[in-house]
Chain A
């Protein structure tokens, strides 16, 4: 009570001596000062977010209801873009199907491969640091640079893939020009970046509690049994994270088809992201591309929500409820 009175008294003195209003003392309070400092530190990020992320997000939503080819003023189009996307744009349907096939195949294969590599690199082997770095290295190469490398690897005449097959007595294919194999070629290329989920699995593996394995040893459990009963359930949060991130990244695939195939042959690699880009920057259909971006967002959002719903059934958090 004494402190409160003291405070009131000080406030009163401040008013009488400086002529300021009672609220003016707020500006001198310690808590206010701390808040100003804290918000000042985050303000650059908030301004950046509003200018470069939040603003464009809102603008793209508004633009999706307009026809805008950049060199002429926008014209209101209502829901026309959203309707025509599903009714008249055959390439949109193709791009959804191509993207769906890619996600469905590349994500599971990528996760199995990443987990397998993580298990191998979690062993005590010679040159462990080298192997870990080597498998992670492609992840630090830019998508464009990696794609150019793979264009050469897939080259029908000069590529290492066909030359390697030839040495084994097998016939090569026209990997980027044959519509039957081109999507598979891009899926294989996507596995090159398996180092990112691999590192997460590796970190998760190293955090597994050893007492569970010791208890399993006492019970006489075999390696396979330990893997399926201990390792996999304990890794499920990491698997969940990697699958969610893998699906998001796969739906957004752009650099590989843009650089390696341009969406061909015959639109066999026309991914949703590439179709969006073409509409925006080749056809200058900014409104339509914005509408497509929102459909892409809803697709990713839906898939992510679906996975979170499923996660309760198979993801195990230590200390949490299953």
Chain B
């Protein structure tokens, strides 16, 4: 009989594999919930920690967090700033380790809700007598509803408006945009009159490379859209959409109205336009209200007017929704924080840090108004919150990334002058429909 005196490779691999497998299983197992009973027995001894995931810095909620922790000493909210948000949130969802409360973007809120990653918060809203849903702007309040379920509560919203350099207008002898009537034609005429490409002065910003949703507002302003109201069909093949995209592409390709995208690449894409505006090289820029802060020290007088319109006044309003993860072990506590963070004061605290209006009207009534920056000249600040009444929230179709890739490839060709919108949008439209309807 042969006696084995060494550990064979096979045995070793078996042992090693078992250990690694056990370790992997242990790592994949859901985190054991904290002993909730302990909180009831000794409320002052145990603090329950919940996680709050967001894409922007924790500093934005620092004030609210501080007062929340004072008011609720038994709850610790741990803020996690999550980079590469669009990829990491689904990865965390796949692992079952989403933060208890997630501040998600428009399309993400709907997609995660459709796929049962977020809970319906309507029962919590209904059970909170002081919540006052009517305080929210209707379009924001009604947006995150899918099949009767509410996936999130909005906080702040940043509308796109037109910022203009009043000094450049004066230097070119051009009248300022009319607050009550500002059309695409007005925009082009004024931009052309200001432009001096040889001296790197342009009347308008460029159309940002790779930021495809920037173009959707142009479609809206002409009565078109990228998608149907329910986000299940493409509207790229509609005449209004085609005309709108081609109008702005022609302006871009003209060369005497706005810098080409390649002229600003390397200095921040869409951010580059803001830098050019701050540097005094751009007459008008259609952008979100968050750039206000960067203009304060720019050294020129600026003002704000609504986005130019064609058939109707419209614009993009960016924002986010606070959601509770289905996997949260502390949903009630998560709601306590969510409710506090989306209260009048909570929204104001964040909005005033970021120069956004809030999605609650009551937050926008607190002075100093959150979107106002301190300057020593007159600015028509009310234009910014007014945009929340007529603006659209970014669309939230399913499979948005793939849809935007198709749309982006088509837009890129049109903006490069390689194709006309009328030639390629009808071909792309059914492909986009196939992607967004595949829920």
Contact = CB atoms under 8 A, between A and B. Distances in A.
Contacts of A158: 266
Contacts of B260: 177
Interface residues of A, number: 41
Contacts of A47: 16, 19-20, 23
Contacts of B5: 26, 29, 31-32
B92 to A, nearest CB: 9
Given A47-B23, A265-B412, A155 B91 contact: no
Given A47-B23, A71-B94, A176-B262, A281 B87 contact: yes
B121 interface: no
A266 B210 contact: no
Contacts of B405: 278, 282-283
A71 B117 CA distance: 7
A267 interface: yes
A47 B27 CA distance: 13
A39 interface: yes
A1 interface: no
Nearest to A270: B409
B139 to A, nearest CB: 25
Interface string A48-75: 0011000100000000000001111000
A231 to B, nearest CB: 42
A154 B314 CA distance: 37
A152 B399 CA distance: 33
Contacts of A152: 266
B12 to A, nearest CB: 5
- Which residue among B91, B112, B265 has the maximum number of chain A CB atoms within 10 Å of its CB? B265
Contact of B402 (A71, A157, A177, A283): A283
A156 interface: yes
A46 B17 CA distance: 8
Contact of A26 (B4, B412, B418): B4
A50 B7 contact: no
Interface residues of B, number: 43
A200 B78 CA distance: 50
Contacts of A177: 260-262, 265, 416
Contacts of A262: 210
B416 A26 contact: no
A284 B21 CA distance: 27
A155 B261 CA distance: 11
Nearest to B17: A50
Interface in B107-128: 111-112, 115-117
A150 B344 CA distance: 47
B7 A36 contact: yes
8 contacts: A39-B12, A46-B20, A69-B115, A71-B90, A72-B116, A156-B265, A267-B409, A283-B399
**Top 9 nearest A-B pairs by Cβ distance?**
A70-B90, A283-B402, A281-B87, A177-B262, A282-B401, A50-B20, A70-B94, A71-B115, A35-B7
Interface of A: 22-23, 26, 29, 31-32, 35-36, 39, 43, 46-47, 50-51, 55, 69-72, 151-152, 154-159, 174, 176-177, 262, 264-267, 278, 281-285
